[in-house]
Chain A
Amino acid sequence: MNRDRPVERDAVISVDGIHFQYDSHPLFHDLSLTVRESEFLSVIGPNGSGKSTLLKLILGIMKPSKGRIAVFGKDIGKMKRKAISQLVSGVLLDFNPAYSFSVEEIVAIGRTPYAKAFSDFTREDRIAIEEALEKTSLLTLRKKPFEHLSSGERQRVLLAKCLAQKTPILLLDECVAHLDPGHVQQFLEVVRDKNRKEKITVVTVFHDINLASLYSDRIVVVDQGKLSQTGDPVEIVHQRLLENVYRAQATVLTHPRFDVPQVLLNRLDRPQKPAPDLIHNELPKSKIL
């Protein structure tokens, strides 16, 4: 592991040599990661590599057995949960409320970190809720029960809840995994817009390498409980990544309009044609951690 990595001054999240295990099954061994201010960072890696766990550790939902996670230089292990939730919010998998809530009610729960006992929502709360609903195009659906929404709309509600939470850091766990292209684009554009205009730092777990490549400033690859590589999409997304990390045969092309690598899977039961012109075969310059 890279122990003498220079301390980055604009680090908003620093994960420092953490260890984590589920029961006795080790997941992370001495993992470190730095997230810079207002960057859009994607975490990719095969199933079971611990991507979601990494996000939950940063959110403080789970605790590392060793090592330290700091947000804006403060150790979250020593912070009150309320204080953490004013800095980091997250859209998690498996959102399943026990009772029926309306869209508006769920988004309002994003204001809980600022709530005082007995007080109604303040003007500030209401403005934050309105803005979040508007940003995610949910104004017309606000009274609808959450369980009546489509999955695309549901994900937007969860995003709106995090936006209402007004945190400088936003963590997203495979938020667009089951959505159609229209909803995927709408969702990610909202996030990108927040990231660009309000300098919100975004860390997102992606299954879809193409989306990670298209939207991120930087990608980290988590494999077998370790951060195996980090770099910008052009460096990371390469045929070798597909072969070594995902054990998949693929053709990696350069997006003709955005100059980022895009992955096409190969069929293994048919003869291949020669590689086309757009093939992305620049050698990866990525730092091997």
Chain B
Amino acid sequence: MAFIFIGGICFFLFQMSLGTVSIPIDEIIRFFTFRELQTPIYRTILVDIRFPRLFAGFLIGALLSLSGVFFQALLKNPLADPYILGVSSGGAFGTVLSIAAFGSGTVLSRFFGNLPLVSFLFSLLAAFLTYFLAKRGKSVPVVDLILSGVIMNFFFSAATTFVIIYGWRNVSSATFWLLGSLSGARWEQVPPLLFIAGVGLLIGFALSKTLNAISLGEEEAKNVGIEVERVKLFLFITGTLVAAYTITITGIVGFVGLIIPHSARMLVGSDHRKSIPLSVFLGGLFFTGCDTIARSLFQPTEMPLGTITSLIGAPLFAVILKRSRRFR
């Protein structure tokens, strides 16, 4: 644990030197020890460009991974991730609609011009529809929830394609949202992210034992006193809000919320008291690591972040899967 933690922090610091301009490590050390930098411009690059991107990236990765933990406990399905219930395709549709309608001169363009808000609302709309499609009386069966999510994902993905082909203006900007990017990260996004991550982590700690019980199955959870339907609704709402919020900043970045919780479980076991902190930490590291690659290896352009997370994540996950005897 300590090894992972220290290694992670070193890795995080190392990433500060990488980018369009590479900054020597000793300059970064100088910066952190409050000494004068040999090349003063590096200070501006670090403070105005690298830091917000790294910090926002770390927090978003952490949140996606936490949301993944919640969804995997809620759905008791190893394939569950923050996007499985339609949040991502709803958000993508909202975004594309927003871009397509923006500047069209209609009354709606003012509302649709607020891209993050539209994306957020459509994410929530998709999740809400999924939930009500799956609801059976007082309970929400998990299998129905997953199937409803599949329906919503198909529907909104198709609708997204429809808008892209039908009313298209700015294709490259759509790729940016559909495959994710951190290039929109700003300092002012960091405090709200920090706040949400803090609250999310507290919820995670408070619910650890409940999540353990619910992982044994719904009847077993009731057997040890868990109000299962209430917990499921709570996990659904928090997981969805968190995922929808991250989408407004970076677009859809797949794989993080799926593999990081699994990787954490393989490393320290399924007890959420241990796996949640590790998931959150690894999620942040993985996200910034992938972003560093996305922004520094393909200059002068940037590779979409979602492409890198999947390209790196898939083989990494395969290795962990093969090595871990604990995984089924």
Contacts and interface: CB of A to CB of B under 8 A. Distances in A.
Interface in B186-226: 205-207, 209-210, 212-213, 215-217, 219-220, 222-226
A101 B269 contact: yes
Contacts of A108: 212
B223 A85 contact: yes
Nearest to A93: B219
Counting chain A CB atoms within 10 Å of each CB, the highest count among B72, B73, B222, B223 belongs to B223
Interface in A75-134: 80-86, 89-90, 92, 94-102, 105-106, 108-110, 112-113, 115, 117-118
B209 A112 contact: yes
B224 A113 contact: yes
Contacts of B206: 117-118
Given A97-B215, A98-B215, A109 B327 contact: no
Nearest to A110: B224
Given A97-B215, A97-B216, A147-B328, A102 B269 contact: yes
Contacts of A94: 217
B225 A101 contact: no
Contacts of A113: 224-225
Interface string B252-272: 000000000000010001110
Contacts of A147: 328
B76 interface: yes
B114 interface: no
A84 B225 contact: yes
Nearest to B274: A105
Contacts of A97: 215-217, 270
Given A85-B223, A95-B220, A109 B213 contact: yes
A109 B216 contact: yes
B225 A98 contact: no
Contacts of A82: 225
A92 B223 contact: yes
B169 interface: no
A61 B271 contact: no
Contacts, number: 93
Contact of B217 (A81, A86, A96, A165): A96
Contacts of A81: 222, 225-227
B78 interface: yes
A85 B269 contact: no
Contact of B265 (A59, A60, A96, A100): A100
Contact of B270 (A80, A84, A96, A105): A105
B259 to A, nearest CB: 14
A109 B212 contact: yes
Contact of B78 (A86, A98, A106, A115): A98
B216 A100 contact: no
A179 B314 CA distance: 41
Counting chain B CB atoms within 10 Å of each CB, the highest count among A84, A96, A105, A110 belongs to A105
B38 interface: no
Nearest to A158: B220
Interface of A: 56, 59-61, 80-86, 89-90, 92, 94-102, 105-106, 108-110, 112-113, 115, 117-118, 145, 147, 165
Given A85-B224, A99-B72, A115-B209, 13 more contacts: A81-B227, A90-B223, A92-B220, A98-B73, A98-B78, A98-B215, A98-B216, A98-B217, A100-B328, A105-B212, A109-B224, A112-B225, A113-B224
20 contacts: A81-B226, A81-B227, A85-B223, A85-B225, A89-B223, A94-B217, A95-B216, A95-B220, A99-B72, A99-B215, A100-B326, A100-B328, A102-B269, A105-B269, A108-B212, A109-B213, A112-B226, A113-B224, A118-B205, A165-B224
Interface of B: 72-73, 76-78, 205-207, 209-210, 212-213, 215-217, 219-220, 222-227, 265, 269-271, 325-328
